[in-house]
Structure 1
Amino acid sequence: MAEEHKKGRYRIIGLRLTGEEFGKLESGWKKSTVGKLSEYVRRVLFGKRITVYSRNQSTDELIAELIVVRRELHAIGVNFNQAVHRLNMLDHSPQMEVWVKRFERDRDAFFAVSNEVRLKVNSISEQWLP
């Protein structure tokens, strides 16, 4: 009678698994959004819904490409800032010509990377959109 009035989980089930069985169980749990292994086992046991993470290979590739592009654009931005700072400090014409040439080189690099980004986004949008 006392057990009927208890609330919560108080019953324990001992379960022995092989390494392979536990590996499969753990793998499924880690792919899911369930925080605790015990909750995952209960959901599997009682046929409740389990949300699973899935990965999209094209999205992973896009993210990797965008990380590289972000680094390149950041480096170009730093070079732009340095160029503008130096141009403001210069008072001699010959030094100014060197920095203008560097600025033009960085500008061309920026537009080249921007064009790559545009082409990559167009390619991905053609894949994703019917």
Structure 2
Amino acid sequence: MKEQNNRTKWLHLRLTPDEYQKIVAAFSKSTCRKLSEYARKNILQKPIVNTYRNKSLDDFMAEMMRLRGELNSIGNNFNQAVKKLHTLHQIIDFKHWLISYELEKKILFNKVDEIKKHIQKFAESWLQ
């Protein structure tokens, strides 16, 4: 059951831009969902749980998400090319499809090689 919210009193306070940035920076490292929740816990001296971020893992995940997006795009292009192949009726159309297929295949293989290199780079940094 959700706790009933009886907060009816407001606390207004003014901060310098520097003070505000410090509070926002500390808030972003916490598990609090809202800045008001963070401020309330801080003022009432309740425990605040901070998160720990692994920079190398964050970098790895960002790169993998970028590569996943690119691979999805390449996969979509490949699926469209195969669908077009099924609709071709003339040899000339087939030649154009083959040229475009070879280009998409090269792009795909380049991205797979790029993924392999990134995985190898991160594996080496983790093993050190």
Rate the CA distance shift 1:21–1:91 in 2: closer, same or farther, 3 A. Answer: closer
**Which residue does the alignment assign to 1:31?**
29
**Which residue does the alignment assign to 1:129?**
127
Indicate the SS of the match to 2:97.
helix
Measure how far apart 1:51 and its partner are: 1.9
Indicate the SS of the match to 1:39.
helix
Structure 1 letter corresponding to 2:43:
V
Measure how far apart 1:22 and its partner are: 6.3
Q: Distance in 2 between matches of 1:79 and 1:30?
A: 39
Q: Which runs of 5+ in 2 are unaligned?
A: 1-10
Q: Which runs of 5+ in 1 are unaligned?
A: 1-13
Q: TM-score, normalised by structure 2?
A: 0.69
**Which residue does the alignment assign to 1:51?**
49
* Bigger CA radius of gyration: 1
Q: Distance in 2 between matches of 1:77 and 1:63?
A: 20
Aligned residue pairs: how many?
Answer: 115
Mean Cα deviation higher: 115-124 or 29-38: 29-38
Q: Distance in 2 between matches of 1:75 and 1:26?
A: 36
Note if contact 2:29-2:51 (Cα within 8 Å) is conserved in structure 1.
Answer: yes
**Which residue does the alignment assign to 1:68?**
66
Q: Distance in 1 between matches of 2:86 and 2:111?
A: 26
Rate the CA distance shift 1:22–1:82 in 2: closer, same or farther, 3 A. Answer: closer
Q: Deviations over 1:24-58 (max 9, x none)?
A: 4554344212451212333xx4xx65321233332
- Let me know the Cα RMSD of the aligned residues: 3.0
